[in-house]
């Protein structure tokens, strides 16, 4: 096995705080009463049947978020047809509060150590909109950004991981891959990457594990 020399990150949930974690900010931005948004995904799976269906692979992640987009749109009198409509309204004006500080710290540490950086996302621009990237200067530090919004190749398809490795010019086992969806982690493991299943309930742990795999002190 090669010593890992690249950090590969999923975006939503790993780099950003999930929409589940920022209901208060969303309600404030959309002018909704506090407590209007009650779906909690991984933070309260038993109360979110739609999330449970996604975890059973009965619907896709895109299906889940499109349903939530429609639901929230109805609450504010909007007919939103794209996840980006929801995200732009909820957090587009100032995305900085929803970026995980653990992500920024790990990115800076990896870059300083000469570790290559990549984003491997199923729906970066689909969910956030292309303009969102311009508000995130740290993305300029990334060597590769693979976004299935444009490739139409979704994780855990092996071709998604291959595209990332090709862009980095590295073998799979030289990459430490972090994702919050277990299906994508299983795909990464099968492809030969060193993987960290990111727990959104304990975000510091995931980055600590990744930095250790990269041979970097997490402190």
What are the residues facing 116 on neighbouring strands?
6
What does the DSSP 8-state code read for residue 11? S
- Could you tell me which residues come within 8 angstroms of residue 41 by beta carbon, excluding any fewer than 6 positions away? 18, 20, 48, 51
Model pLDDT for residues 107-148, shown as the tens digit of each residue: 999 999 999 999 999 999 988 888 888 889 999 999 999 999
- Residues 178, 206 contacting (CB under 8 angstroms): yes
Residue 18 makes CB contacts below 8 A (sequence gap 6+) with 12, 41, 42, 200
pLDDT at 26 over 90: yes
C-beta separation of 7 from 176 below 8 A: yes
Closest to 14 measured CA to CA, from 165, 140, 202, 170: 202
pTM for the whole structure: 0.90
Whole-angstrom Cα distance, residue 206 to residue 218? 11
pLDDT tier at 28 (50, 70, 90 boundaries)? very high
Predicted confidence (pLDDT) per residue in 61-89, tens digit: 889 999 999 999 999 999 999 988 998 89
Tell me the three state secondary structure of residue 85.
Answer: helix
Structure confidence by residue, pLDDT tens digits, 174-212: 999 999 999 999 999 999 999 999 999 999 999 999 999
Indicate the domain borders of the chain: 6-16+99-213, 23-91
Q: How far apart are the first and last CA of the chain?
A: 26
Q: Which fold has domain 6-16+99-213?
A: Rossmann fold (3.40.50)
pLDDT bin (cut points 50, 70, 90) of residue 219 is low
Q: Choose the weakest-confidence range: 8-12, 118-122, 172-176, 215-219.
A: 215-219
How many residues comprise the chain? 219
Joined together, the tokens standing for residue 43 give 């933070």
């Amino acid at each position: 096995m090669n010593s890992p020399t690249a950090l590969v990150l999923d975006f939503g949930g790993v780099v950003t705080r999930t929409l589940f974690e920022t209901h208060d900010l969303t309600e404030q931005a959309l002018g909704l009463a506090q407590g209007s948004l009650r779906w909690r995904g991984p933070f309260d799976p038993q109360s979110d049947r739609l999330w449970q269906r996604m975890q059973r692979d009965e619907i896709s992640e895109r299906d889940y978020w499109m349903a939530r987009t429609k639901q929230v749109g109805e609450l504010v009198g909007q007919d939103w047809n794209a996840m980006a409509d929801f995200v732009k309204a909820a957090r587009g004006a100032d995305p900085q509060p929803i970026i995980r500080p653990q992500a920024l710290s790990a990115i800076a540490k990896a870059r300083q150590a000469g570790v290559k950086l990549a984003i491997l996302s199923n729906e970066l621009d689909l969910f956030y909109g292309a303009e969102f990237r311009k508000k995130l200067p740290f993305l300029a530090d990334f060597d590769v950004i693979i976004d299935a919004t444009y490739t139409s190749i979704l994780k855990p398809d092996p071709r998604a991981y291959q595209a990332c490795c090709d862009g980095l010019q590295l073998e799979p086992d030289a990459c430490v891959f972090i994702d919050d969806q277990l299906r994508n982690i299983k795909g990464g493991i099968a492809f030969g990457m060193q993987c960290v299943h990111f727990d959104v309930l304990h975000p510091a742990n995931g980055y600590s594990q990744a930095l250790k795999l990269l041979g970097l002190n997490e402190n």
